[in-house]
Chains A and B, each alone.
Chain A
């Protein structure tokens, strides 16, 4: 091939040593091969590390090892039930959660809302300090026809967007159905916080990672009740296990008219409500 070299040739690079076109082809060819090999190596490294990590943390379903030793997470499927007709808005659950889990101030893993519905259909909702200190009486100026307290927490959805879109897999669902965050992996992007339709997540102001209700995983895996359920004086909050024979909560969910929040989003919440009304959001 003809070589037209502009200006001064560069010594040793003037194309006399080897045919220039071949060197170009060689360069591109070799470049592509090297790049390909590099990408392949990276992918393999990634896969290897992924598998190792998954094995180590028991994330693969095949080699499922529970997060807590001596506890078989395949034998449980947790559900949460809130009876809205019973809640008195005392806020003990919020206090208990806050203490048990060291929840930072002005953030909530669970909270209680107060709904006041007037005859004209106007809905007034409030939750001062997440309902932690109970509720002061209010004068709405409306004829209130319906009022109730509304405890909320992470719904531990089966089909949850927060796990789907966590870029590093720090948010995950345990085999017993609890949504947890791996604080060592979370990069603090906040995407899960944006994606949760229930507002149950937040970025912890100290650790800068996503934080949320764990259903007191450290307690329930030892057979204890969640702090909020334990604290509820009226039995409005109940915790159940659909894999446990004769579980009362599981029976109520299976046999009675329970509802979930925002069912249209198809997130399949595992937090069920008795006495849910149309005003609830």
Chain B
């Protein structure tokens, strides 16, 4: 219980949804964003995005695996969490989580399996002993990689990735809906919420893939594919602009309508959230990356690869921070003012070491990255460059990473 000003309802003295509920939309946003990015290649055949086609899928899976951890850590009774799937209340938006999550997980695993199927078979045929058994298990008993089979695979991948777009939009749009549909909370209750969440999810997904791709290439000593980076920058720029425009439109509408709720939201943005909203969400996290990416997009012919990569890297880092700030401002911001609309709590600060603390949040953010690295040890996350045709009996694509 912290300091507070004005009058708060006596049960409103406690911040109920803390850092883990900030992490939850952040992590699922990365899932949805990375997946939608992968679909640009798999469905819309943006060939220049081929180098990140697999990476974005695996990144999506990595974050998806750890997304429920945030919720389980938050729940008062995590051991009862299966109740959401066993006895769901069908009128509850939150009850849909289990189903959407499970369906999305199945779809993503199937797509990743299809995309990596050829590699699995190749690796199985090259390896021996227990490793060979492992890859044979991964192959699920299907060893056909004829042209016809690959064509069918490709067709299925297109369909899955196509289905995955609404699924990813649903997975994250639903998270926005969780907040947007709370009519008791003036800061959350807006039909724009799912769309804002979705757009910023795509921003964070693309930014994360840019970072992973650049770091991956750096470590494997390979060249960053310039058209790919250029294309990523263009998509990222577009989605940041849409995302920030929507975020501002919502505030402008609230301010212009100046209804009852603006009495708390106005001071909230100007005081308690001044740093995280104006400082990070709008200036450091949005304005600066928009300028940096603008340079990449508009001045492309004058940029060296080095400059382009650096600009994209810095912009992506800032945008990952921006999206986190946006989640923070929504989740925590919505709880700083009391439903009495007459008082504020002091801004919330989680402890370093607690169940829903900073250390755990960092762990949840880092574990998916470890997952991606481990995945890369088993199956190649990066597409082999066109010129590097695998040589028979030579090192497997995974070894070259």
CB within 8 Å of A: which of B132-179? 136, 140-149, 152, 156, 178
Number of B residues contacting the other chain (C-beta, 8 Å)? 66
Listed residue (B11, B76, B339, B340) with the most chain A CB atoms within 10 angstroms of its CB: B11
Question: In the complex, what residue of chain B is closest to A3 when comparing beta carbons?
Answer: B146
Report whether B10 and A130 are in contact in the complex, using a CB–CB cutoff of 8 Å: yes
Bound complex: CA of A46 vs CA of B81, how far in Å?
Answer: 15
Q: Assess the A199–B9 pair: CB atoms within 8 A.
A: yes
Name, among A20, A46, A108, A187, the residue most crowded by chain B CB atoms within 10 Å (CB to CB).
A187
Contact with A along B60-94 (1 / 0, CB 8 A): 00000000000100111110110111111101111
Q: Identify which of B76, B140, B181, B184 contacts A189 (C-beta below 8 A).
A: B76
Q: Which residue of B lies closest to A107 (CB)?
A: B11
Type the 1/0 row for B116-143, where 1 means its CB is closer than 8 Å to any CB of A: 0010011011100000000010001111
- What residues of A have a CB within 8 angstroms of the CB of B334 in the complex? 194
B365 on the A face (CB < 8 A): no
A207→B75 CA distance, assembly (Å):
12
C-alpha gap A193/B118 in the complex (Å): 50
Query: Restricting to A167-191, which residues have a CB under 8 Å from any CB of B?
Result: 167-170, 185-191
Given A6-B122, A185-B80, does the pair A199, B339 have CB atoms closer than 8 Å?
yes
Tell me whether B125 and A193 are in contact (CB under 8 A). Answer: no
A38 to B9, alpha carbons, bound, how many Å?
48
Q: Using A13-B143, A24-B144, A187-B77 as known contacts, say yes or no to A108 and B87 having CB atoms under 8 A apart.
A: no
B13 CB within 8 Å of chain A: yes
Task: Judge whether B46 is part of the interface by a CB distance below 8 angstroms.
Answer: no
Q: Encode contact with B along A196-209: 1 for CB under 8 Å, 0 otherwise.
A: 11111111000111
Residue of B nearest to A19 (CB): B144
> What distance in Å separates the Cβ of A192 from its nearest Cβ neighbour in chain B?
10
CB-nearest residue of chain A to B93: A165
Pick the residue among A6, A190, A209 that contacts B145 (CB under 8 A): A6
| B residues near A23, Cβ cutoff 8 Å | 141-142, 144
A145: B residues at CB distance < 8 A: none
A247 at the interface (CB under 8 A from B): no
User: Which residue of the partner chain, among A1, A46, A107, A195, contacts B86 with CB atoms under 8 Å?
Assistant: A46
Q: Which residue of A lies closest to B97 (CB)?
A: A167
Q: Is the interface of A mostly helix, strand, loop or mixed?
A: loop
Q: Which residues of A lie under 8 Å from residue B338 when comparing CB positions?
A: 199
Query: Beyond A166-B89, A168-B80, is A2–B148 a contact (Cβ under 8 Å)?
Result: yes
Residues of B within 8 A of A208 (CB): 76-77
Verify if A5 is at the interface (C-beta below 8 Å from B). yes
The closest CB in chain B to the CB of A189 belongs to B75
A20 and B12 contact, Cβ closer than 8 Å, known pairs A165-B94, A186-B76, A189-B75:
no
CB of A66 closer than 8 Å to a CB of B? no
Output the least CB separation between B102 and chain A (Å).
Answer: 9
Q: A119 to chain B: which residues have CB within 8 Å?
A: none
> Which of chain B's residues have a CB closer than 8 A to the CB of A199?
9-12, 338-340
A118-146: which have CB < 8 Å to B?
Answer: 123-127, 129-130
**Shortest CB distance B118–A (Å):** 8
The yes or no answer to A58 lying at the interface (CB within 8 A) is: no
Output the nearest chain A residue to B179 by Cβ-Cβ distance. Answer: A194
- Taken together as a complex, chains A and B put the C-alpha atoms of A10 and B393 apart, in Å, by 15
Q: Is B1 an interface residue (CB 8 A)?
A: yes
Residue on A with the closest CB to B110? A31
Evaluate contact between A106 and B16: CB separation under 8 angstroms.
Answer: no
Which residues of A9-60 are within 8 A (CB) of B? 9-10, 13-15, 20-21, 23-24, 27-28, 35, 46, 49-50, 53
- A113–B338 alpha-carbon span in the complex (Å): 14
Indicate whether A252 reaches chain B with its CB closer than 8 angstroms. no
A200 surroundings in chain B (CB, below 8 A): 11
- Given the known interface contacts A27-B141, A194-B185, the answer about A21 and B92 at a Cβ–Cβ threshold of 8 Å is no
Residue A259 lies at the interface, judged by CB distance under 8 Å to chain B? no
Q: In this assembly, does B44 line the interface, its C-beta being within 8 Å of a C-beta of chain A?
A: no
Residue B291 CB within 8 A of the other chain: no
Tell me which residues across on chain B come within 8 A of A8, comparing CB atoms.
Answer: 125-126
Output the nearest chain B residue to A123 by Cβ-Cβ distance. Answer: B342
Structural contact, A190 and B80, CB atoms closer than 8 A = no
| B257 touches A (CB below 8 Å) | no
Confirm or deny: A234 has a beta carbon within 8 angstroms of a beta carbon on chain B.
no
Chain A residues whose CB sits within 8 angstroms of the CB of B181 once the complex forms: 165
Other-chain contact of A169, B12, B89, B121, B152 (Cβ < 8 Å) = B89
Chain B hits for A106, CB < 8 A: 1, 10, 13
- Are B183 and A168 in touch, CB under 8 angstroms? no
Contact in complex: A50, B75 (CB < 8 Å): no
Write out the residue numbers on chain B whose beta carbons fall within 8 Å of the beta carbon of A28. 156
Asked if A24 and B152 make an inter-chain contact with CB atoms under 8 angstroms apart, the answer reads: yes
* A187-B75 contact given A2-B148, A167-B95, CB 8 Å threshold: yes
- A197 adjacent to B339 (CB under 8 Å): yes
Given the complex of chains A and B, what is the CA–CA distance between A107 and B14 in angstroms?
A: 10
Residues of A within 8 A of B77 (CB): 186-188, 208-209
Do A53 and B121 form a contact, CB below 8 Å, given A161-B183, A167-B92? no
Q: How far is the CA of A189 from the CA of B126 in the complex (A)?
A: 49
CA distance A200 to B339 in the complex (A): 10
CA distance A73 to B384 in the complex (A): 70
From B76, B92, B146, A4 is in contact (CB under 8 Å) with B146
Task: Report if A111 contacts B (CB, 8 A).
Answer: yes
Instruction: Kindly list the 6 A-B residue pairs having the minimum CB-CB distance in the complex, ordered from nearest.
Output: A188-B76, A208-B76, A199-B9, A197-B184, A20-B144, A169-B89
28 pairs, A vs B, C-beta closer than 8 Å: A2-B147, A2-B148, A4-B146, A5-B143, A6-B122, A6-B145, A7-B126, A7-B392, A15-B144, A20-B143, A20-B146, A23-B144, A24-B142, A35-B106, A49-B86, A49-B87, A125-B342, A165-B89, A168-B92, A188-B76, A191-B94, A194-B17, A194-B184, A196-B339, A199-B340, A200-B11, A281-B340, A281-B342
Since A13-B143, A113-B7 are in contact, a sample of 9 more A-B pairs with Cβ atoms closer than 8 Å, ordered by chain A residue number, is A4-B146, A46-B85, A152-B9, A188-B76, A197-B183, A198-B339, A203-B16, A207-B76, A281-B341
